Chains A and B, each alone.
With several copies, the nearest count.
Chain A
Amino acid sequence: MTRSPALSYTLVISGAPYTSQAPQSALAFAKALISGGHKLDRVFLYGDGVYLASSLVTPPSDEVNWTQLWSEFLMQTRTPAVACIASALRRGILDSAEQTRYEQPASNIAEPFEMAGLGDWVEATMTSSRILYFLPTD
């Protein structure tokens, strides 16, 4: 079977860990697209998806740590990863710049996620061959 030429993908995650399967489905898909010879342009966290970027998640030892699995995958594959800043601030996910700006006691964004605006998503719609949305369960 002739496979198509390499495509580029952006994955948007708008469902949170536990409250949805979005982080799990998206990670399995991300790995499969790379094995399929395609490029993962970026991962964009929006809405409740930003909870995936919390560095303080501490699941029980017999449960998976989605934040950690994603961090490892993003760093291994050198994939840019963005948490939408408006979604993140409202939900209590901050980087050190925002921590300073708003005089908050701590920051909690996991490596290698960066904060950015919806402009990054708009750009993705124009530059990636495919853009998929991993949504909340309900």
Chain B
Amino acid sequence: MPTLHIINKAPDHPRFPACLRALAEDDTLVLIENAVMALVFESLPLPPCYALRADVNARALSESSVTGVKMIGYAGLVVLTETHQRVMNW
């Protein structure tokens, strides 16, 4: 059963790598709040994931199109919680 992982921590926070190590093949990762900085953080390779648009725009990252990262809104985040019975917040 796929898990939805929602992380709000900056990529240099110790919990960020712990989250990446917990991702199974069929899991889904969403970056919210400070976590969206991972889109431009050299030291941490990012798997395919979603990023919350409001947080991306605030931090001026919308031009940083990264292969495999899809922008979503809060409505899109709700839809992801519909399709995943297990949700882990990091």
B33, B79, B83: most-surrounded residue (chain A CB, <10 A): B33
Interface residues of A in 65-117 (CB under 8 A from B): none
In the complex, per-residue mask of A98-138: 1 if CB is within 8 Å of any chain B CB, else 0: 00000000000000000000000000000000111111011
Give Cα A35–Cα B74 distance, bound, in whole angstroms: 10
Partner among B9, B10, B13, B33 whose Cβ is within 8 Å of the Cβ of A25: B33
B77 touches A21 (CB 8 A): no
| Count of interface residues, chain B, beta-carbon cutoff 8 Å | 22
For B3, the chain A residues whose CB sits under 8 A away are none
* B34 CB–A CB distance under 8 Å: yes
Given contacts A28-B54, A135-B89, contact A3 B8 (CB under 8 A): no
In the complex, per-residue mask of B70-90: 1 if CB is within 8 Å of any chain A CB, else 0: 000111011101110001011
For A38, the chain B residues whose CB sits under 8 A away are 78, 82
B9, B10, B82: most-surrounded residue (chain A CB, <10 A): B82
For A29, the chain B residues whose CB sits under 8 A away are 74, 77-78
B32 touches A25 (CB 8 A): yes
CB distance from B80 to the nearest CB of A (A): 11
For A132, the chain B residues whose CB sits under 8 A away are 6, 81, 87, 89
Chain B binding surface, main DSSP class: helix
For A135, the chain B residues whose CB sits under 8 A away are 8, 89-90
A7 touches B74 (CB 8 A): no
> Besides the contacts A25-B33, A32-B78, A134-B8, what 8 more A-B pairs have beta carbons closer than 8 Å?
A7-B81, A25-B8, A31-B74, A33-B81, A36-B79, A38-B78, A130-B87, A132-B81
7 A-B contact pairs sorted by A residue (CB < 8 Å) = A28-B54, A29-B78, A32-B73, A32-B74, A36-B75, A38-B82, A133-B89
Interface residues of A (CB under 8 A from B): 3-4, 7, 9, 21, 25, 28-29, 31-33, 35-36, 38, 130-135, 137-138
